[in-house]
């Protein structure tokens, strides 16, 4: 059942990605000019702050629905591309693609191993925010929201963000790919207390 | 002369843009691609004799390295003094690792935790082998963290939430989602959830202002009005917070910094929507803006400090904001309100100068999330905090006085759409207002508090 669900998610994401490159309305060539499809590199371990460093390198970069490729020049190289269009070829990941890459997950949902993806590797991964929320995939489990720590995630049916730090007032600093108008960055959020959100953890961190 | 009048006077003809300073900040002023950042949860309120361990999570990666495990070397020092002045004592920060998170740590000597007023501190962190430095908080010695000792806090227990008995407020404003003149915009939600009715505020006359960020306007309901007036404003269109000053100025805190700048902008508009001035915030992700006793102020992150946006009517550049930051939220009464949530406990203090004049330790059988509001009504303090389980949540409204709880009730979270993070409640006089939303639209409800 879990595999079947994973297949459906993969299919849907692949279908969305398949439309990239056929966009007629928008014109950024960020993906075409910069991104690659190189193989990932299996790695034996990753620490939580190593993962945070990967995430921070995406900060100030763009957002692209269904995307997964960005550079590290601290600006959105495809600003103002249309919202809600997965086919504009713009810079950045979306929330779930960003999480997949930062958590160094595998395209094989049955594998819990770590895969290093280059910043410019165009990859979204097989999971939507809702799939992460459900703990879909071998590396991912749901966790009580009171037990979350740095680089665990809070996921709803439509969004996922990673916990970067706690604030004294009970809010969290979340690192996330938020949307076309926001790009990728660290913001104060109140996801933890919201009943729309659940706690998710990538397993297997090195300590 | 009121500061607001001065502000109008100096900047009515043209927007004055104050850009980022070069002072040390949380974001290291390195070339793009470098990562050197620290986060720290300051123990703002401690108990007498409580062990205090200061920890700094440090993320450091050399530029151009696509390997997250290729870490930089980091080191640092802590500067500590008893509250009330004197010289800072320098202590080394020790390397530590907690569940895969690299930290620099130091224990605060017991003598500082029993001192009458607590202690002040800041840290200086360095990337070993470079000249890159971080001050935490970024104001350093000029605006250190202030940790106070709670000696006589009143213990209150709000029990367990049942998520069903919600008080209903009086609806004072509402608008359906949409794009017409009386509707409020909703950011499309297929890719990232629903975002809408970004923030609100209410003035002393009961006029409700809702920031409709999608349409770049403020919707304004005069008291008792069914339909809003529209005030177009020039904002970036993303989630933003809103505060209205006594002179009718509209302050909007945006949430996304422009390329090459450290912090987002605060924009001030007059009541017709004309932009009066613009100032850049000192840090990357401020979470709220309020009008304080000396004008607009912002709660910054990652420092968690309140910083003024103007002084004597003049916008303050970021380096001056950092130098004038405070640990607590300045109150119109002259003191500060300080809040620290730790697990299911909330520590709250109201200060006057160096002294805590009232303090409470609020505990809950249900987990506590964010504190949306902590403001004074005379000698009382109104606190709105979210309680939650894995599948339910609500806001608990608690009025605290010298005996404990003077009043408490729960309201529905009503958060179908996302707002700016701490934009859901406002306290005006003895009325509490809530910005809520459902699948139909956004609304503002009023709750009259039963306090004399």
Q: Which tens digits make up the pLDDT trace of B256-290? A: 998 878 899 999 999 999 999 999 999 999 999 99
Does the structure show a pLDDT above 80 at A15? no
B129 touching A (Cβ < 8 Å): no
B124-140 pLDDT, tens digit per residue, is 999 998 889 999 999 99
Q: Can you tell me the ipTM of this complex? A: 0.92
Does the structure show a pLDDT above 70 at A17? no
Instruction: Report CB contact under 8 Å: B370, A171.
Output: yes
Question: How many domains are there within chain A?
Answer: 1
Instruction: Report CB contact under 8 Å: B33, A73.
Output: yes
Q: How far is A178 from chain B (nearest CA, A)?
A: 7
Does residue B31 or residue B185 have the better pLDDT? Answer: B185
H/E stretch holding A130 reads: helix A129-133
Cβ-contact B216, B442 below 8 angstroms: no
**Block residue for tokens 């629903």:** B194
Amino acid B70: pLDDT: 67
B73 touching A (Cβ < 8 Å): no
The verdict on residue A112 lying in a domain is yes
Q: How far is A135 from chain B (nearest CA, A)?
A: 14
CB atoms near residue B391 (< 10 Å): 8
Q: What pTM was computed for the model?
A: 0.91
Instruction: Report CB contact under 8 Å: B68, A170.
Output: no
Pull the structure tokens for residue B437: 């939303």
A123-181 pLDDT, tens digit per residue, is 999 999 999 999 999 999 999 999 999 999 999 999 999 999 999 999 999 999 999 88
**Closest CA relative to residue B223, chosen from B448, B446, B447, B451:** B446
Residue of A nearest to B103 (CA): A49
A182 touching B (Cβ < 8 Å): yes
Mutate which of A38, A46, A166, A188 to test chain B, going by most B C-beta atoms within 10 A? A188
Residues of chain B with C-beta less than 8 angstroms from the C-beta of A161: none
Instruction: Report CB contact under 8 Å: B304, A49.
Output: no
- Report B:199-238 residues touching A (Cβ under 8 A): 236-238
Residues of chain A with C-beta less than 8 angstroms from the C-beta of B413: 193-195
pLDDT band, residue B69 (cuts 50/70/90): low
B421 touching A (Cβ < 8 Å): yes
pLDDT band, residue B67 (cuts 50/70/90): low
Amino acid B17: pLDDT: 36
- Report B:139-168 residues touching A (Cβ under 8 A): none
Q: How far is B365 from chain A (nearest CA, A)?
A: 13
Instruction: Report CB contact under 8 Å: A57, B255.
Output: no
Q: Taking residues A41-53, what's their average pLDDT?
A: 87
SS (H, E, C) A135-157: CCCCCEEEECHHHCCCCCEEECC
Q: Taking residues B26-50, what's their average pLDDT?
A: 76
CA distances from A174 to A75, A163, A205, B194, B423 (A): 19, 5, 19, 17, 17
Candidate ranges A42-51, B251-260, B266-275, B312-321; pick with highest mean pLDDT: B266-275
Instruction: Report CB contact under 8 Å: A48, B99.
Output: yes
β-sheet bridge partners, residue B371: B385
Q: Which of B66, B236, B339 sits opposite A119 (nearest CB)?
A: B66
The verdict on residue A140 lying in a domain is yes
Q: How far is A114 from chain B (nearest CA, A)?
A: 12
Q: What are the structural domains of chain B?
A: 3-21+157-448 (2.120.10.30), 35-137 (2.60.40)
Cβ-contact A67, A31 below 8 angstroms: yes
Instruction: Report CB contact under 8 Å: B421, A74.
Output: no
B44 touching A (Cβ < 8 Å): yes
Residues of chain B with C-beta less than 8 angstroms from the C-beta of A159: 192-193
Does residue B61 or residue B140 have the better pLDDT? Answer: B140
Amino acid A27: pLDDT: 66
B69 touching A (Cβ < 8 Å): yes
Mutate which of B63, B74, B191, B372 to test chain A, going by most A C-beta atoms within 10 A? B191
Q: Which residues are within 8 A (CB) of A74 and not within 5 positions of it... i.e. 6 or more apart?
A: A59, A60, A61, B32, B33, B259, B260
Q: Taking residues A50-68, what's their average pLDDT?
A: 91
Start-end of H helices in B313-352? 318-323
Does the structure show a pLDDT above 70 at B441? yes
Residues of chain A with C-beta less than 8 angstroms from the C-beta of B137: none
Residue A15 CA to its chain's centroid (Å): 18
SS (H, E, C) B245-300: CCCCCEEEECCCCCCCCCCCEEEEECCCCCEEEEEECCCCCCCEEEEECCEEEEEC
Amino acid B33: pLDDT: 56
Amino acid B100: pLDDT: 79
pLDDT band, residue B62 (cuts 50/70/90): low
The verdict on residue A207 lying in a domain is no
Residue B203 CA to its chain's centroid (Å): 20
**Block residue for tokens 């009541």:** B271
pLDDT band, residue A84 (cuts 50/70/90): confident
A143 touching B (Cβ < 8 Å): no
Amino acid A1: pLDDT: 41
Q: How far is A7 from chain B (nearest CA, A)?
A: 20
Amino acid A26: pLDDT: 63
Does the structure show a pLDDT above 80 at B84? no
Range of the domain at A52: 2-202
Instruction: Report CB contact under 8 Å: B259, A164.
Output: no
């Amino acid at each position: 059942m879990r595999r079947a669900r994973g297949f459906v998610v993969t299919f849907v994401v692949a279908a969305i990605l398949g439309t990239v490159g056929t966009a007629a309305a928008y014109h950024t060539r960020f993906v075409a000019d910069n991104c690659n499809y190189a193989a990932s590199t299996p790695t034996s371990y990753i620490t939580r702050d190593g993962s945070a460093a990967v995430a921070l390198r995406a900060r100030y970069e763009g957002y692209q629905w269904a995307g997964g490729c960005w550079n590290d020049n601290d600006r959105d190289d495809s600003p103002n591309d249309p919202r809600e269009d997965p086919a504009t070829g713009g810079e950045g990941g979306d929330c779930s693609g960003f999480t997949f890459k930062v958590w160094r997950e595998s395209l094989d949902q049955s594998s819990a191993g770590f895969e290093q993806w280059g910043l410019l590797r165009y990859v979204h991964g097989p999971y939507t925010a809702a799939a992460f929320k459900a703990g879909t995939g071998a590396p991912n489990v749901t966790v009580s929201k009171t037990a979350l720590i740095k680089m665990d995630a809070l996921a709803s049916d439509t969004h996922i963000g990673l916990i970067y730090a706690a604030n004294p007032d009970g809010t969290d600093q979340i690192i996330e790919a938020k949307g076309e108008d926001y790009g990728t960055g660290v913001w104060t959020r109140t996801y933890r207390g919201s009943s729309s959100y659940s706690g998710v953890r990538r397993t297997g961190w090195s300590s | 002369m009121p500061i607001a009048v001065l502000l109008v006077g100096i900047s009515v003809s043209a927007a004055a843009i104050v850009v980022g300073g070069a002072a040390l900040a949380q974001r290291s002023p390195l070339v793009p691609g470098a990562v050197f950042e620290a986060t720290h949860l300051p123990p703002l309120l401690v108990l007498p004799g409580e062990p205090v361990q200061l920890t700094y999570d440090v993320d450091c990666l050399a530029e151009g390295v696509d390997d997250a495990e290729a870490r930089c070397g980091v080191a640092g020092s802590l500067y500590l003094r008893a509250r009330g002045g004197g010289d800072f004592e320098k202590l080394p920060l020790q390397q530590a690792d907690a569940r895969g998170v690299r930290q620099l740590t130091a224990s605060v000597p017991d003598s500082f935790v029993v001192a009458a007023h607590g202690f002040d501190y800041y840290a200086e962190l360095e990337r070993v082998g470079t000249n890159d430095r971080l001050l935490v908080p970024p104001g350093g010695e000029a605006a250190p963290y202030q940790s106070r000792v709670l000696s006589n806090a009143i213990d209150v227990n709000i029990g367990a939430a049942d998520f069903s008995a919600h008080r209903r407020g009086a609806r004072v404003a509402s608008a359906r989602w949409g794009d017409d003149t009386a509707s409020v915009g909703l950011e499309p939600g297929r890719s990232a959830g629903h975002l809408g009715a970004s923030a609100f505020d209410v003035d002393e006359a009961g006029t409700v202002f809702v920031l409709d960020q999608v349409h770049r306007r403020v919707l304004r309901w005069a008291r008792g009005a069914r339909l809003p007036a529209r005030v177009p404003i020039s904002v970036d269109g993303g989630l933003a917070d809103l505060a209205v000053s006594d002179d009718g100025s509209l302050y909007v805190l945006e949430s996304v910094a422009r390329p090459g700048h450290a912090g987002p902008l605060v924009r001030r508009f007059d009541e017709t929507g004309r932009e009066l001035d613009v100032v850049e915030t000192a840090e990357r992700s401020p979470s709220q803006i309020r009008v304080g006793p000396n004008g607009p102020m912002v709660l910054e992150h990652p420092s968690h400090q309140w910083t003024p946006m103007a002084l004597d009517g003049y916008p303050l550049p970021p380096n001056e904001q950092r130098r004038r930051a405070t640990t607590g939220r300045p109150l119109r009464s002259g003191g500060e309100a300080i809040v620290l949530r730790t697990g299911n406990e909330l520590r709250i203090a109201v200060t006057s100068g160096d002294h805590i004049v009232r303090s409470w330790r609020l505990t809950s059988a249900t987990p506590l999330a964010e504190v949306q509001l902590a403001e004074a009504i005379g000698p009382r303090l109104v606190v709105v905090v979210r309680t939650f389980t894995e599948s339910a949540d609500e806001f608990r409204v608690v009025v605290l006085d010298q005996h404990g709880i003077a009043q408490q009730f729960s309201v529905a979270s009503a958060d179908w759409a996302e707002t700016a993070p701490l934009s859901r409640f406002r306290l005006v006089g003895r009325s509490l207002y809530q910005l809520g939303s459902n699948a139909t639209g956004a609304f503002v409800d009023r709750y009259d508090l039963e306090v004399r």
